[in-house]
Structure 1
């Protein structure tokens, strides 16, 4: 091997950073043989030089990020957060270094800017580890399917919420118990807000949509709903109808009511058929379902988090950019004229609803409810009624639970229907509203 070694600078040395650094040092020869050049870990940027880092030579450690970037061929950003990560990535790119990052939040906020900077510099910005951990999804979407037209990407991209929902279904636990167990096992952070409220999944949806549809999508364009309102009764109701509840990130090409072609990216808990491939994804695992015109349906499944799985994706990106350094090649983010699509409002999507109502159990109530659906041009597919009151309850207090599944309709019409139902005096309350996906 006659090519000069490629210098690698690592920004950040937490769980993932330590794993990456250790593997680069211990598997230097094997990784180099796959690239055509050796990789030299030249610097590891840390906040605290005094902290113990077993296995890492102390002479590699530094707090001077800018000096560490100077002269690097590849910069690996694992610091997280917006700043100084963004500034350092842009400096690395402008200096001619390719960059590997797992920073989904930064990409979700500044995807177009960062990719354009990489392209302007003629280098790469790889980010496989930013979405779904070890699962190879970024390269298949960006490279393998580049000649196809992707129509939809739908997936479970947050292991914490999938574990919680899975345990609620299998064990009958309530949300609080499932969350506390996830925290005890290390699947959930001490502050789980980003996971359970869907923000982590929304960042990943923004990245996936940007890549899949050649359209910059920022996280503030991704409507998001979390899982904290999901109850055991909602899960049991879904199961009784042959469904399971999953937190889904969905990105797809859609056509608005006025004929405008655009893109939608959103995150919410949805019911999916129990025989759908995504319904079989349990525990803290992730899976991404891709639909393309020529390739048809594809699914990618595996561990979505953790030091070793995420490090695997980072190392794959390092090998990829290193090979391009050896062989030559430009950046990755060039739009053709007119290819960028508008990001459309969630009201323009077409979906199904499962609506659960607490209603007065007396003659004429069902007909009044169906009139509301008809008035909003929403068709009912299924109605299931269960009595809520015990025998002997006075007749004027009788109540029932209605579970109504709709046919496909535009989100705006479905939402207006639910609002109208809340105004009926025969409706004691709207117990839940969940979208149905995967039909």
Structure 2
């Protein structure tokens, strides 16, 4: 190797050595070996959402491999409850050092709009749309309800589904938008039943049945072949299924909510035949029943003997007993009522059944019941009669006013499941 080459290599190595030494000096300098080090940990500029706490990453303070973070003092004008730009200053007084961090308090959250009565409501054709109301709240600006804009065109003269859009913007230009759907439905109370039913017998007859023996299917006051003409039933198909039904007109003493709890706990669906006023007065409970998959059947408005209204003079009153109940159900539950019906007091006639059918309903009687009106029926008595007369497709008529039915329900359900039976709602019977 020539002398010139050797000198060149030596020069390169010398330069590299100087560079390495320079880097090492910088590392040691900025690590606080030669001079005290004070620097912010993390970003020098940070953002925090208004009304939220700021987590300060702090600083790194060292000198000659000693940590001086505990000696750092912190001064700040930061107010996380007010929008703005703030400064945090960190002081290491023993070495006359200080650094700062900038914190921006920002609002990037959109307001919230809460719709009263939910995002889906049903109203009735030819009525007047009444806005249920809304509330807008912002995390910084507070109540913005008065600033909400509402855009809609609900045609109350035409059935269909319409959108109402609610929108609001806060002072930081965050925008919230919510849509409510309004379904304009046909008003069931406008239904007219043109009376031409005199050819049908209106002899009032209280429903009766022969109690099942040895768990065999039974017979009732009228044969199923006749009931088929009027879409009426008193028992389901010949299969291992029980239909629990409960009639409630609004008694002062009732265990209906406790019974519903037992049904829900056992994942059993039942049918509740309820009067209009009970549906209206127990709106929250109605919605809870529907949420759990139970069926609410039509049991009329006033619990009248419907045969007394099954004539040309009172036909409108007959229709109103049923349609007013249906409308109230739709107003309370927000969904159409299933067309299942039970005559009050179990009294009906062929003419009344025909009129109910012409209104689009199916009628359900029962193949098992017992004298459960007495308040002193014990749980043991209730359970015994329920177990003695079960049969395939049985429709059980029970009254929630009887505490014995409530006390027996859990055991009865468990016993029947062990026997291989399932439970269903009467709308399955077709």
* Greater relative contact order (CA < 8 Å, ≥ 6 in sequence): 1
* TM more than 0.5: no
Q: TM-score by structure 1 length?
A: 0.23
Counting helix residues as a fraction of each chain, which structure ranks higher? 1
Q: TM-score, normalised by structure 2?
A: 0.23
